[in-house]
Amino acid sequence: MSGPSRRLFLAVSAAVVAAPAVLRAQTAADVDVAIIGAGAAGIAAARRVAAANRRFAVLEATSRVGGRCVTDTSIFGVPFDLGAHWIHRFDGNPPGGPGSVAGLDVYAAPRGQTIRIGPRNARDAELESFLSALVRSRRAIADAGRNRIDGPASRALPADLADWRATMEFVLGPFVCGKDLAALSVLELARMSERDNDAFCRQGYGAFIAKLASGLPVRLSTAVSRIEWDRNGVNVATSKGSLRARAAIITASTNVLAAEKIVFKPELSKRHLDAAAALSLGSYDHIAFDMPRNPLNLQRDDLVFEKSSDRRTGALLANVFGSNLHLVEIGGDFGRELSTKGTAAMIEFAQDWMASLFGSSSKKAIKRSYATRWNEEPFVLGAMSAAVPGGADARRILSEPIGGRIWFAGEALHETQWGTVNGAWESGQRTAEAVLRQIGALKKPEEDRPLPRSQQRRRRRGEDR
């Protein structure tokens, strides 16, 4: 699926800037669209509704925009992406394209990776063996997807991976999806779009998304607790009062929906709740270290994997943006278990793991440290979405509007870019267009098609009304 066009992006930008009166005129009790959540999906939806000159409200439970895409500069004094960091589909347009947002430096991520085998770099023959195992594993998953028989992705891996198997399971599972391959649908993984053309934003991906939200009337620290709907509209109860809307776009995470953190009346069907559970969020966290003077002797944005023997492993992204920041990435079941033990246990593991690859002196080079714990964030409850075995078609269910009043959007709803900011953005944009059609602000697709010539002649004669 192609990304949003630059022409549409410019039109939306112009609408947000040129129509402040429309945005200021909205009232809490009378908007066309209520948008729940100010992550990438919510921001994209809001920009599209703004471009249509319709009244809307964006309700965000936390004190910031961005959702799972947020940049902090206070912890280490440099941009630190607490959540999403990799900009996938660098050749697309917002939020992935170069030059999409003025004043931000987006550059291509280095291709390739460093492989460590114990305390040394892999030799050429060993690196070739890693790359061969990776290509064969991806091909086997793609072949399994063509068979359209769902099951755990781990079963699709080649049987002859030998001592590279644990590494392949980490790279293709926890590192990419936040889930172990045994807990991931093989059809889901086979449908995933290529994520090799990546980029970074020097000011942080969260700063990138926040800039796209500039000018939007986002109501921060406004948690939604209850949504009631009927054929006449939607009533949204929040921590700061209620509002009435003609329709609502809900971008809450699938874990929040499955946990029923938001009360719906009428209640969400079991079918929808089961679909949200089937698209549950995996676990993925950053353990960050400030390490001045490049003690590991690595390049800027150097990605390091180890040849692992079990699931107690991670990845290292070194010298982020050319700074002293180093990120140890953990995910999947192991990452979730480690996160439950707390920040100190996470940092201790990352220090020991890095010392096993670069020597004990690496611990002394650490000046400051920090660990994210996305599973504990009450308005998220995880990292990125990925379908469980047998659940690859769940997003089709969750994409269905409820009563012509309620729509869901987010990265979990994108068929091929699930788990990414780009996927969330495209989902939010197209969901907003569906809502605008429903309320009569856009033509429906069938209205855009030219009539057959015979019908055109009848209409001109007044025979067809």
Q: What is the mean pLDDT of residues 166-189?
A: 97
Euclidean distance between CA atoms 429 and 440, whole angstroms: 17
Q: Looking at residues 230-235, what average pLDDT do you find? A: 94
Let me know if 336 is exposed, middle or buried by CB neighbors in 10 A (0-12, 13-18, 19+). Answer: buried
Each domain of the chain, given as residue ranges in start order, spans: 6-69+204-279+380-447, 112-195+282-376
Confidence of residue 10 (pLDDT cuts 50, 70, 90): very low
pLDDT in tens, 363-410: 999 999 999 999 999 999 999 999 999 998 899 999 999 999 999 999
* Band of residue 443 on the pLDDT scale cut at 50, 70, 90: confident
Residue 281 confidence (pLDDT) above 50: yes
CA dihedral (368, 373, 378, 381) in degrees, to 10, reads: 160
Task: Work out the pLDDT band at 148, boundaries 50, 70, 90.
Answer: confident
Lowest mean pLDDT among 20-34, 79-93, 186-200, 345-359: 20-34
**What is the pLDDT, as a whole number, of residue 150?**
94
pLDDT at 225 over 60: yes
| Average pLDDT of span 286-305 | 98
Q: Please give the Cα distance from 39 to 330 (Å, whole number).
A: 23
Mean pLDDT value of segment 12-25: 41
- Please say if the pLDDT value at position 310 is more than 90: yes
Which class does domain 6-69+204-279+380-447 fall in? alpha beta
pLDDT 10s digits, 68-122? 999 999 999 999 999 999 998 776 656 755 456 778 999 999 988 999 999 999 9
> Exposed/middle/buried for 185, CB within 10 Å: 0-12, 13-18, 19+?
buried
Q: Which ranges of 86-173 does DSSP label H, i.e. alpha helix?
A: 124-146, 165-172
Q: pLDDT tier at 46 (50, 70, 90 boundaries)?
A: very high
Confidence band (pLDDT; 50, 70, 90) for 338? very high
- Confidence (pLDDT) at 126: 98
**Architecture of the structural domain at 112-195+282-376:** Alpha-Beta Complex (3.90)
- Confidence label for 20 from pLDDT (cuts 50, 70 and 90): very low
The C-alpha angle with vertex 292 and arms to 306 and 327, in degrees rounded to 5, equals 35
pLDDT digits (tens, 9 = 90+) for 410-434: 999 999 999 999 999 999 999 999 9
pTM: 0.89
What does the mean pLDDT of the chain come to?
90
Which range has the worst mean pLDDT, 108-117, 202-211, 362-371, 436-445? 436-445
Query: In the prediction, which pLDDT does 156 show?
Result: 97
Contact between 391 and 166 under an 8 Å Cβ cutoff? The reply is no
Question: What pLDDT is attached to residue 93?
Answer: 54
pLDDT at position 21? 34
Distance CA 90, CA 93 (A): 8
When pLDDT is averaged across residues 273-284 and rounded to a whole number, the result is: 98
